[in-house]
């Protein structure tokens, strides 16, 4: 604006006819100079405020990929030329050490991080969700997505997924970089993501408490005149009973990996123990549990998928729905996704699959004998194989009492 005023005034002054009234020329000359002075003052004011200390700025959220800008540096929005108040600095995690080498870590995700994770979850879901009035893949308002998912039994699914996302982003850096911890087993939320989702609001800071077992810190008692005080120490621990059913299942699973397949006779119906190659097209189940709703994501469907007909291998209902099917036949199979599925948009939900059987095979599972052991590793026999699996199981059992054994020798 100032530039235009200067330009207009300058043009007017330059076009004055010398024969015109000198007073008019003088007025234009004064206007030109005043305009320039006003412009200079404005620019000086802007530049001095730009370099003055300020509490405004933009900070890097946990889930953001933007760079950190110091709090004392103002950041201008090029569209509106407004300053934006910065987020609070990232809150360091807190650790509380519990008994038996357990720790609880309190993590705090910023409002910017929770909003970014929520927006990402909405964008991913909208790619596969079909809602009247919106084309597939279009950006759908979060409120509409939540209402649509709630109508299908997925209340708070987006919020639960958001919580899991920010947890995954914060947990590993907190454990390894802030506290130098080596976890034993899988860390878990003290309050589950489903419970937190009931009160969680995207865009608000989120506090999460994670419980995890870690390797114990051992401080040996000092013994005068002895450089290695742990020499001669004795300790005792109780060992869990050997789990024979688990051992037998482990041996069975091992043999299953070496099963031999052969094309099934023509016209043979699939039975438990057989395998097949199928094309699968999945749909969410409608409210009646049997009608088809919107298609499932591509990851939940597929072509040329191998399925082994056995218990506990796949979604509940899939194997049972294929028993009795023949090559060339398409069967409608009704399944339930596991409640603990990582994808919370599908966890615990019912679905309908159209499954076309393209190939059927019989499977022969070998006996646990010297021949199988030799196949697993040259020079190994059946007895050695069983002994190694037994030792492995004992080691896994002992793994969970190691920390208690160590604590018996720690100086309190």
Q: What does the pLDDT look like over 363-391, one tens digit per residue?
A: 999 999 999 999 989 999 999 999 888 88
> Residue 338: inside a domain, yes or no?
yes
Q: What is the pTM of this model?
A: 0.42
Q: What is the pLDDT of residue 80?
A: 29
pLDDT digits (tens, 9 = 90+) for 284-320: 999 888 899 888 877 678 889 999 998 888 888 999 9
> Residue 410: inside a domain, yes or no?
no
Q: What is the CATH number of the domain that holds 166?
A: 3.30.70.1050
- Percent of the chain whose predicted confidence (pLDDT) is above 70: 72
Q: What is the pLDDT of residue 72?
A: 30
> Residue 35: inside a domain, yes or no?
yes
- What's the CA gap between 230 and 220, in Å, rounded? 7
> Residue 314: inside a domain, yes or no?
yes
Give CA 309 to chain center in angstroms: 31
- What's the CA gap between 369 and 143, in Å, rounded? 60
**Are 210 and 278 found together in one domain?**
no
> Residue 412: inside a domain, yes or no?
no
Q: Where are the beta strands (DSSP E) in 230-389?
A: 260-263, 275-285, 292-295, 302-308, 330-336, 350-364
Q: What is the CA radius of gyration of the chain?
A: 35
- What's the CA gap between 212 and 184, in Å, rounded? 7
> Residue 82: inside a domain, yes or no?
no
- Overall domain count for the chain: 3
Last residue of a domain, one of 214, 249, 284: 214
**Are 12 and 106 found together in one domain?**
no
Q: What is the CATH number of the domain that holds 269?
A: 3.10.50.40
* Residue 139: domain span: 94-214
> Residue 202: inside a domain, yes or no?
yes
**Are 124 and 184 found together in one domain?**
yes
């Amino acid at each position: 604006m100032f530039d235009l005023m200067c330009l207009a005034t300058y043009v007017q002054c330059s076009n004055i006819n010398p024969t015109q009234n000198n007073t008019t020329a003088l007025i234009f000359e004064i206007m030109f100079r005043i305009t320039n002075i006003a412009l200079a003052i404005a620019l000086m004011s802007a530049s001095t405020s730009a370099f003055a200390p300020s509490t405004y700025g933009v900070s890097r959220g946990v889930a953001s990929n933007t760079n950190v800008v110091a709090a004392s540096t103002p950041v201008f929005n090029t569209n509106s030329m407004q300053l934006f108040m910065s987020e609070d600095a990232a809150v360091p995690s807190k650790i509380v050490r519990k008994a038996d080498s357990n720790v609880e870590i309190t993590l705090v995700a910023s409002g910017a991080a929770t909003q970014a994770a929520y927006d990402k979850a909405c964008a991913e879901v909208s790619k596969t969700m079909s809602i009247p009035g919106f084309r597939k893949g279009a950006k759908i308002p979060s409120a509409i997505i939540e209402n649509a998912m709630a109508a299908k039994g997925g209340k708070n699914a987006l919020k639960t997924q958001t919580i899991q996302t920010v947890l995954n982003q914060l947990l590993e850096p907190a454990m390894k970089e802030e506290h130098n911890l080596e976890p034993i087993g899988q860390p878990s939320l003290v309050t589950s993501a489903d419970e937190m989702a009931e009160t969680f609001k995207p865009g608000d800071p989120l506090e999460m408490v994670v419980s995890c077992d870690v390797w114990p810190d051992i401080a040996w008692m000092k013994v005068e005149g002895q450089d290695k005080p742990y020499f001669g120490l004795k300790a005792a621990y109780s060992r869990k009973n050997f789990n024979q059913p688990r051992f037998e299942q482990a041996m069975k699973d091992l043999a299953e990996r070496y099963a031999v397949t052969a094309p099934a006779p023509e016209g043979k119906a699939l039975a438990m123990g057989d395998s097949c190659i199928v094309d699968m097209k999945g749909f969410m189940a409608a409210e009646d549990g049997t009608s088809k709703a919107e298609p499932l994501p591509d990851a939940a469907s597929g072509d040329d998928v191998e399925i082994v007909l056995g218990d506990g291998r796949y979604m509940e209902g899939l194997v049972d729905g294929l028993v009795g099917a023949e090559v060339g036949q398409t069967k409608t199979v009704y399944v339930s996704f596991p409640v603990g599925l990582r994808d919370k948009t599908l966890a615990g939900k019912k679905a309908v699959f159209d499954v076309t059987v393209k190939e059927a095979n019989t499977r022969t599972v070998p006996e646990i004998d010297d021949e199988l052991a030799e196949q697993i590793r040259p020079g190994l026999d059946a007895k050695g194989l069983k002994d190694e699996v037994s030792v492995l199981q004992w080691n896994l059992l002992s793994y969970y009492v190691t920390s208690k054994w160590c604590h018996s020798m720690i100086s309190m």
